[in-house]
Structure 1
Amino acid sequence: MGASQPAGGAATLEDPRATGEDPGQDVRAPAVSALHLSAFRSLRARTVPLGPVTVITGPSGSGKSTIMEAYEALARLGQGNALGEVFGERTARPGSPSPYVPQGARPDRQGRRGFRLGCAVTGPAGPLRFDVAVQAEPELRVVGERLSRDPGETLLATALRDPARRSVTATRHVAGADRALRMPFPDDRLALPLLPLRVAGTTTEDRALLEAVEQVVVALRSVFACDPVPARMREPVAAQDGRLGGDCANLADVLRRTRAECATRHAALLAVVREGCAGPVTELRAEAAGSAGMAGSNLVRGVLERGGTLPVTPLEWLGEGELRFTALALVLLTGPGVLSVDTVYEVPAARQALTVLADGMDRGLDGRQTTELLALAGRMARRGHVRLLATAPAGGALARAAAQTEGVTLIDLGR
């Protein structure tokens, strides 16, 4: 389940789901259906159900961003990142208290403290649950993982048997008995993404285990955390690979690519932008920015064409709300071939559903823009294209729109 890039980009742009074609009701893409935060930051014993479109609302400090942070952390671990890459950057210095451990958690006799988080995953292999326990103090280590099938059948478990060794022991359930895998796994990252390298897949039990592992890993890796930053989107950018970053700073380069490679998708984006931007909009494109012979002559900027004799409007002239709206619409309409995500290319596109994480999604947007984006997310979710998990302040435009939109899972942490 590697993440090698395909040569070129046009093939990945022409995802049938982006054009509105139904990939088939019999295909169920792996998806995270719930987050389980047993003890993570300020949240304890919290289960967060997730639908195709989910909006989490609540007052400041209620845990909205913590839920998003937990999901993104699980996604990065599922991609094979080391614990230090995911959690170490938030620790000021070695030996200092970890911000991820609940403040009231007491250390054990060896002075160790940690946190636990997990998820439920649906898909072709059936309902699964994955949990991981992490020692955060005095150093980051995986204490244990558990992959189980409802109701309570453990498929794979790891445990830190000997604290003196930098490894964990893995056991799997085969023919009614638990069997230890010969080779240990490192204690600084998840064993789950590494398992296909250790299991041959020659028996029925092997294949069932690998299918379950693939379902969880694909669901976790199919995540794109998005927070458009208008200040970064106003500057011309180099024409490169046309893969959108999480801050959407290279929006103009992506517009250059989508307009050239996927007319259907670009037309859909243009139709949405017309609804969310003030004034007439006849085209959305990129143009060269910089003079020939200059070092930055490969720079591009985005522009709106207004039609008739009206001059074009550079995107940098738009307000923050219009810029964020345009970027979020592009994210919801595109897929792994355009977004900068760790894509599982060997899994068919119809068996992948990208989950967009948008913390504070309605920041800077008005009610009309928010309603349009939520409706767009619903349409794309019904086609199996994307799932959306967004947060919004209590009483804000997104929370109000979610309460009135059919098919949206609304979670109010203030209740």
Structure 2
Amino acid sequence: MLKQLILENWKSFRYAELPLDPLTVLIGTNASGKSNVVEAFEFLQRVTQGQNIEAALAGDKILSSIRGGVEWAALKPETEFTLKFLVQGDDEHTDYLYAIKIQTQPVVIVIREFIQILDVENSDSLIEFSIKDKDSFIPIRSALNTLEGSGTATGSGVITIAKKYQLKNVDDVSKRIRNITNLVIKALEKTFVLNPIPSKMRSYSLLSDTLESDASNIAGVLAALTDKRKNEVESILSAYIKDFPEGDIQKVWAEKVGRFGTDAMLYCQEEWKPGHITEIDARTMSDGTLRFLAIITALLTRPESSQIVIEEIDNGFHPSRAELLVRILREIGSKRKIDILITTHNPALLDALSPEIVPFVVVAHRDKETGESKLTLLEEIDNFSKLFASYSLGDMTTKGAIERSLSHNE
């Protein structure tokens, strides 16, 4: 699991830390930096899928460009940026910090890539080892074949790792490093940025094991499940979707279609008046219904212990459905051990958050002197207690109380 994201010279951020919890809510005004945070995860997702660094930023024939491409990836006038991800270790005393430093000008290359082994109790770095790639363009995906222990201020990498894990020889140390790197890679690979595009979800899709970021293959993913798992997932989808529209959707399912059964379509049964059930396919479903189904499908089909990132999660949803959405995120996320990061502008959704979620609300905002983006935990705003006593979370955002308080803090 990922525990923290650190941004250094990434887009509008000079330096920022984002804690990642079971449900992290990122709020802020327009152009405050929320999308830049999401794009850091999108860049990571592309890199761990094996994309060339330049293509991961600028796009190619298949990928769209991350906003600003290579030119605006680093905070101006810098020509380098660093992304760091804190990964939960394989024991309660140790975490792993993965870092990748990229040069954007005059050419795009990986300057440095490493993993630090951290002591959880005091956050000290016990040891650091470099990850080297033969061409410096495709990083951690090829790391398992190119690991090399490196010396640090605490002594030789090999000696330090040997002592910490009570290993007897270099081969054991090498094996341990590979195990750590494999754990980090798996954690990073489980990061998934979901941006459902209803227009792409309405078409027939090929059977698939993995949901696309735009959810265009939702029907293919559901239809490809084993019969038992398909029944489970579609039953949960059908149960939740009943409370979403004004009318009553009785059932949601996907079916294989065509002579060879390699494609699929999404269907549902609607009952807009008692006793009159109509079957429709995705081509007729509303944008909101399709986005809602995509979110639940991602929660149900992504691997356990994943990180799902959803920007403007409430886009297309009626405010009265905010409470339902929050309940679903918490119920399925908790059951499947999936951590969720969402961004939102919606006062209704913020008001639907229970008090125990407040410590996990993070505010993106701009420094009034430098114009750089910052991330601040809502609870760390100086007069937050007074604000919370006077306003609901939704009112704080609509009345601009949070921004005024942050401005006074600076």
- TM-score w.r.t. the length of structure 2 is 0.71
Higher relative contact order (CA 8 A, sep 6+): 1
Q: Given residue 98 of structure 1, which amino acid in structure 2 is its aligned partner?
A: E
**1:228 maps onto 2:228 in alignment:** no
What do you get for the CA RMSD once the two structures are aligned? Answer: 3.1
Alignment size in residue pairs: 330
1:97 to partner: Cα distance: 6.9
- Corresponding position of 2:143: 195
Gaps spanning 5+ residues in structure 1: where?
Answer: 1-30, 106-112, 159-169, 171-183, 337-351
User: Partner amino acid for 1:271?
Assistant: A
SS where residue 77 of structure 1 aligns? helix
Aligned to 1:326: 293
Residue 53 of structure 2 contacts residue 108 of structure 2 at CA under 8 Å; is this kept in 1?
yes
Paired residues for 1:75-94 under 5 Å: 75-89=45-59
Partner of 1:302: 267
The within-5 A match list for 1:24-173 is 31-89=1-59, 98-105=71-78, 113-125=79-91, 126-150=94-118, 151-157=124-130
Give 1:399's aligned amino acid: L
**Preserved CA contact (<8 Å) 1:269 1:333:** no
Native 8 Å contact 1:228 1:249 kept in 2: yes
Which secondary structure does the structure 2 equivalent of 1:203 belong to?
helix
**CA pair 232-81 structure 1, distance change in 2 beyond 3 A:** closer
For 1:379 and 1:243, locate their aligned partners in 2 and report how far apart those are by CA, in whole Å.
22
Which residue in 2 is equivalent to 1:339?
none
Question: Structure 1 residues 60 and 145 mapped into 2: Cα distance closer, same or farther (>3 Å)?
Answer: same
CA shift for structure 1 position 35? 0.6
Q: Secondary structure at the match of 1:59?
A: coil
Q: Structure 1 CA distance, aligned partners of 2:257 and 2:136?
A: 49
Is this contact kept in 1: 2:269–2:278, CA < 8 A?
no
3-state SS of 2:182 partner: helix
1:227 and 1:53 map into 2 onto residues whose CA distance is 17
2:349 aligned counterpart, secondary structure: helix
SS of 1:123 mapped into structure 2 = strand
| TM-score, L = length of structure 1 | 0.70
The one-letter amino acid of 1:185's match is K
Counterpart CA distance in 2 for 1:115 and 1:357 is 21
Q: Deviations over 1:178-197 (max 9, x none)?
A: xxxxxx7321122x443322
Other-structure match for 1:241: 208
Give the structure with the larger helix fraction.
Answer: 2
CA distance in 2: counterparts of 1:259 and 1:193, whole angstroms? 29
Match of 1:254 among 206, 218, 221: 221
Contact 2:253 2:268 in 1 (8 A): yes
Secondary structure, aligned partner of 2:278: coil
State the identity %: 21
Distance in 1 separating the partners of 2:48 and 2:70: 25
1:182-239 CA distances to partner (integer Å, 9 max, x unpaired)?
Answer: xx7321122x44332246997332233223212211111002221111222233x045
- C-alpha distance 313-148 of structure 1, shift in aligned 2 (>3 A): same
Q: Is the 8 A contact 1:38 1:116 kept in 2?
A: yes
Alignment match of 1:265 (pick from 233, 238, 244): 233
Q: Secondary structure at the match of 2:315?
A: coil
The Cα shift of 1:145 comes to 1.7
Gaps of 5+ in 2: 119-123, 149-168, 366-405
Aligned equivalent of 1:399, options 350, 370, 383: 350
- For 1:249 and 1:358, the matched residues in 2 are separated by 15
1:46 CA drift (Å):
0.4
Residue 359 of structure 1 is matched in structure 2 by 311
Whether contact under 8 Å (2:45, 2:193) holds in the other structure is: no
* Closer, same or farther: CA 218–97 of 1 in aligned 2, 3 Å: closer
Q: Secondary structure of the equivalent of 2:21? A: coil
